[in-house]
Amino acid sequence: AQKITQTQPGMFVQEKEAVTLDCTYDTSDPSYGLFWYKQPSSGEMIFLIYQGSYDQQNATEGRYSLNFQKARKSANLVISASQLGDSAMYFCAQGSNYKLTFGKGTLLTVNP
Amino acid sequence: DVKVTQSSRYLVKRTGEKVFLECVQDMDHENMFWYRQDPGLGLRLIYFSYDVKMKEKGDIPEGYSVSREKKERFSLILESASTNQTSMYLCASSTSQGLYQPQHFGDGTRLSIL
């Protein structure tokens, strides 16, 4: 069974600084995807970025990048130039066969 | 943009009632999912469907059933609501075309069972 671990229950960052949110996973599937979602206090889950297990380059999407280290089974999310609107819960997920397993999330607070 | 619409943002029901949560997506996605989200537990999959009239149990199906009569609509049914089913319920959909397809979520339904 897949398992996703997010070791940081909460993180604080100053506005305009970069922050890294950690995620490790455990799977025996040969092919899989890794995803990050943002959940503001209003509750909706917003898809941010994904990485395929066979992708050679790390994924980037605007201020978001995914630091994928396959040998370490880690898929950390890097947010550059943090904004106040980035304050939210962030969930890492790993997917195979169109099913996702989610971590328990990291609450990010961006301070002005 | 993908639009996943859940019928209610907030819902209050009584113990023992039969509760229906509705979800509609407008992107012709093959796959649809129901999760519940509880503090400290993250998202847990209740049921999913990969085609019309097809359904698969997720990690916590007990006390729930689902219906998918049309491709765009996936309903979650609480047969006899209990207080421990008070939770945030999230519906999602995804396409089967290609690998690593993200799931797209609705805004969620905060369900309270009194």
A-B CB pairs within 8 A amount to 53
pLDDT of residue B25: 96
Contact A98 B101 (CB under 8 A): yes
Q: With the C-alpha atoms ordered B27, B29, B32, B38, is the resulting torsion angle positive or negative?
A: negative
Averaged pLDDT, A30-52: 93
Contacts of B102 in chain A (CB under 8 A): 33, 35, 47, 50
Q: Regarding predicted confidence, which is higher, A99 or B9?
A: B9
Residues B39-82 have pLDDT tens digits of 888 899 999 999 998 999 999 999 999 999 999 999 999 999 99
Asked whether residue B1 carries a pLDDT value surpassing 80, the answer given is: no
pLDDT of residue A99: 80
pLDDT of residue B98: 75
Asked whether residue B95 carries a pLDDT value surpassing 80, the answer given is: yes
Residues A75-109 have pLDDT tens digits of 999 999 999 999 999 999 998 756 889 999 999 99
Residues contacting residue A89 through CB under 8 Å, at least 6 positions apart: A38, A39, A40, A105, A106, A107, A108
Nearest to B100 by CA among A50, A67, A26, A61: A50
Least CA distance to A2: which residue of chain B?
B59
Asked whether residue A1 carries a pLDDT value surpassing 90, the answer given is: no
Query: Which DSSP string do the residues of B21-45 spell out, in sequence order?
Result: EEEEESS--SEEEEEEEETTTEEEE
pLDDT band for B20, please (50, 70, 90 cuts): very high
Which ranges of A31-91 does DSSP label H, i.e. alpha helix?
A: none
pLDDT of residue B96: 84
Contact A44 B107 (CB under 8 A): yes
